Structure 1
């Protein structure tokens, strides 16, 4: 059993379990920390994770090929929102490959993360700045960003910090600026390393996974004027009304949990749920 390699991960069961146990303990520290403690704890937790779990895909480079493909497919999507004089912000950029790629298309790019371990990256373009955050603040000039983007970031925030994060994004966005957020949908989760050990709720560093319905609520409460679900299909951006997505999630949530997870993790819902464009 210990030599078995998990599909799409490239690690053994023993390595996954080690990662899970370390991440779960670190996540518990964040879950039970006060707001004041979390101001420094995000950086400490993620730095410790990447220091201790050397086989983590973001550290070992095992995710590099797959990420390169995702970056190549994401840049044409982002072009729909960008101009040569745009300012772009990626929050939670990982290895910064996407931010570096977008920097070639815009006047200024920023990459904001909580971990100095993962942000120690060579080859940063001259018009790109790497910035360390405490987990919710966005320490760059207010009203300066045209397009903010995050993928697999929102679920890592403590639920009590989500509203503050969104308010900070609104502050750095220019009038009419957009925040494109992609996050794993709660109905098909958990999606962190605990998916191999826990059936219903994430217990790793996905501190809360959201439905699109919940995303729309917290984004609007934070002050965004519009929240638009979208589909990126064969090079076309398709914006959707919110109500059919809310209705689909409502129906899916009434199904038995195993069936709900199957339905929401398959096409066409997989291309829609957890993807929103929020407009300042």
Structure 2
């Protein structure tokens, strides 16, 4: 018998499911506490976060917590694995596109023209001294860990909670899911572009399942809609072949790396996905669905 609790945080739906109802309350408290620590370390929308302080001191090495070291380290690995498609130095470009505050506030304000695209400094120029816990970014650069920090949190929470409480756990934070432990039956997941939309049912017993899309976190501008997924090659919101990508991988971070890369750079990321062999479900601008590398055959259209 499983039990689940849902709430809203980070402008997205958070859901924790466990197969031991007796531990649900305590497990939810731990997940909320972890998310609060990650927010204080890596939020782009908090002036007092460590990430905001590092960005404000671009050009200098800044002492940071071990948590932010881990989060930045994960983002740099994702950048390497994706060939730069998932680049944590797109922060200035995201702001130039209009995503300068929480998405709800961005969508409420009067449409403004996007600023000129910002050059991407490139993840290779980030300085991270893991031993001394020092972090530095180039001048005129801003880090944005949104592509990986949420997935890292799902991974971390699922593994820790499953081990601590001796039960199967499913953590969902927005479009990033991670299953840990040994459920009696695999979790049944609805994969859809947007919450509440029709989708396809898949089962998840272990690993990560993520969906990246340019159809949700988007806002109106005088020149059309903009969104939060930046193509590092142009510094602009991505306009590639696929509007949505769902990927399974052994971890949520790994899945998110590929799902983000596919939407951000389109065909350029396909070769790396093929080599990795991770199952994926892609939706193009016309709504046509492509399923790759063993994604379970589906009969319900997205």
TM-score, normalisation: structure 1: 0.28
Larger strand proportion of the pair: 2
Larger helix proportion of the pair: 1
